[in-house]
Structure 1
Amino acid sequence: MDTNTHGWTEVGPGCFARRYPSYDLTIGAVVGAVGILLVDTRASLGEADELRADLRRLSRAPVRWVVDTHWHFDHCFGNARFADAVIYGHESVPAMLEARADGVRAELSARSAEWATEMAALEVVPPGRTFASVAMADLGDRVVELVHPGRGHTDGDVVVRVPDADVVYVGDLVEESGPPSYGDDSYPLEWGATLDVVAGLLTTRTAVVPGHGTVVDHAYVGEQRGDLVGVAGTIRRLVEERVPIERAWEAAEWPWSREALAEAIRRGYAQLRDTRGRRTLPLV
């Protein structure tokens, strides 16, 4: 199913996606018998107000559940506008928001007067219903599964699976509108294995909704997983061969640009050097 309803695309029965120009963010909405489950809330209160208006054009049902796919501002700084809902997130998210939200607000405030106004009004609301691995939300006539498949884009990525519709919202574990985003909180050596877990939630017909970009499929996830595994393998090889990090870019072939991979290389080298410095017990 792929019909357009007031700007929302129905990617499966009762499952919708809407792509916003701001940060090219893709929002998800799952309509159940007793309310809507919303996947991410956008980057500010103003953007969340626009989202609420767009949701009313989709359905008059209330938003009763929110899922933060991870802690990054463009996905959860609109939470306060949905404070009456149960807000789900990985157990790492509240601490990350407490530690880093103020810094992000300052960076955004410096971008423009408009953003400064938005950030001055912002109330950061962390998820109140956290979990370590798996949670479920009962929408009355359907159950939605929430899964933390492992570390990758962040240490608290969550995917949202709607089994009866064969739809999975994957947040920024999968990118369609650009290369995967390796930030200073990413886990480049683990990301490919995390997507192995995600792939186990998919069928060949699953509609996969990324955090940025248009809907993709199982094959696309497999291709991106292959590139992520390749990046991790290359970093491991370079470290084993004692190639200095300053020469890493020129010493190998990479699937994405130097700018896109700079943080992956830095964090991968740091993680492997840290691991090498640890003493481990012998295996018996």
Structure 2
Amino acid sequence: MPPALGDTLRVLRPAPHIRAFYDGRVPGVRLHSAAPNWLDDGAYEAGIASYAVINAGSALIYDTNISLAHARLIRRTLEAEGVRHMIVVLSHWHDDHVAGTAAFADCEILASRRTAEILAEKRADLESGDPPIKPLILPTRTYEGECGLAVGALQVRLIQVDVHSCDATVVRLPDGILLAGDTLEDPVTYVDEPGRLAAHLVDLARMADWDITRILPNHGAEETIASGGYGKEFIYATMAYIKKLIEISGEVKVNCEDLRSFAAAAFATGAVTYFAPYEAVHRQNVAAVRRAAGWRDAD
């Protein structure tokens, strides 16, 4: 019998003022169903974290995790630490980041304008998915480009970037920590918009110019997140992988290399670590960019 939703959730402390709510990467365990579904295959197997930035009784909650049960646990944990004011920031519209919005229905939910538009467009699909996200609570406030936000006495900056998805929001903290959402993923990015890889590279290069000391992604290795996060090399590793995907998108025929071989340049940075379940992600990425380029490769 699978564990109940939230039973395997771990609370990590990558920095004194940050809590990471991490679940997944538990060998042999599925939470929702033996059949393919977004919760088990798209989030739990890969490992997923959502975050809270805490200051003076206030908290910024960056994404609401993979179920309502998870989100309720997050809220109870923060309340037990004395948090009384909460604001939710959504990194982007994907289901494993918005599944717990109903637990914060009485809070302000902030997202990029594009995230709000996509969630409104896809609300019926998300609420009837497997598992369903019902009710999905839509953002109550939006921004475009950049937005400053106070968390207690802490001033943070929300920045919209076109990486992984066109609506992504990352959060820069004044101490150099970056909450990266799905713009960076260990070991490799999941390609959701294969026609936009060149645009993703532009914004990754922009991120690399920022004064960043540590990076906290939503999908990554638990031990790295717990120890404070990734260095800026994480960005360069992601760029190396995307550049290789762009290269093969222009080739008439490609050999299907395994992840270790294909992403050798990314692994050489030392920023990311091989994780076998990402072999399937890599195969999907290659197929997606090849289809977007108009090739009809054999499965």
Query: How has the CA–CA distance of structure 1 residues 78 and 72 changed in structure 2, closer, same or farther, with 3 Å as cutoff?
Result: same
1:164-221 superposed Cα distances (whole Å, 9 cap, x missing partner): x321100001012x42111258722222222112222243xx2211111232111122
- The aligned runs of 1:1-284 (5 Å cut-off) are 7-21=10-24, 23=44, 24-57=47-80, 59-108=81-130, 115=131, 119=132, 122-149=134-161, 151-163=162-174, 165-176=175-186, 178-183=187-192, 187-203=196-212, 206-213=213-220, 214=225, 215-235=229-249, 237-238=250-251, 243=252, 247-248=253-254, 254-255=262-263, 257-267=282-292, 269=293
Using the TM superposition, name which of 70-79 and 93-102 deviates more. 93-102
> Which has the larger Rg?
1
- CA 1:80/1:107 → structure 2, altered by over 3 Å: closer, same or farther? closer
Q: Deviations over 1:32-77 (max 9, x none)?
A: 22411111001332221122223334x2212421110000111012
CA RMSD of aligned residues (A): 2.5
CA contact (8 A) 2:164 2:193 kept: no
Q: Find the aligned partners of 2:93 and 2:194 in 1 and give their Cα distance.
A: 10
Deviating more after overlay: 187-196 vs 96-105: 96-105
Query: What 5-or-longer segments of structure 1 have no aligned partner?
Result: 1-5, 109-114, 271-284
Deviation at 1:230, TM superposition (A): 3.0
Cα deviation, residue 88, structure 1: 1.4
Q: Deviations over 1:12-35 (max 9, x none)?
A: 341222211262211111112241
Q: How big is the shift at 1:136?
A: 1.2
- 1:206-244 CA distance string (max 9 Å, x none): 221111123211112222222213322442x43xxxx3x
Structure 1: how far apart are the matches of 2:118 and 2:155?
A: 28
Report the CA distance between 1:144 and its aligned residue: 0.8
**What letter is aligned with 1:135?**
C
> How many aligned residue pairs are there?
239
The residue type paired with residue 53 of structure 1 is R
SS at match of 1:74: helix
Question: Structure 1 vs Structure 2: percent identity of aligned residues?
Answer: 22
Deviation by residue 1:106-136 (Cα, 9 ceiling, x = unmatched): 341xxxxxx4xxx37x111122221121011
Letter in 2 for 1:266: R
TM-score normalized with structure 1 length? 0.75
Q: Secondary structure of the equivalent of 1:10?
A: strand
Stretches (4+) displaced over 4 A: 248-251
SS in 2 for 1:125: coil
Structure 2: 5+ residue stretches without partners = 1-8, 25-42, 264-278, 295-299
Q: What is the rounded CA distance, in whole Å, between the counterparts of 2:144 and 2:255 in structure 1?
A: 36
Deviations 1:140-179 (A, max 9, x none): 3110110012x2211101101111x321100001012x42
TM-score by length of 2: 0.71
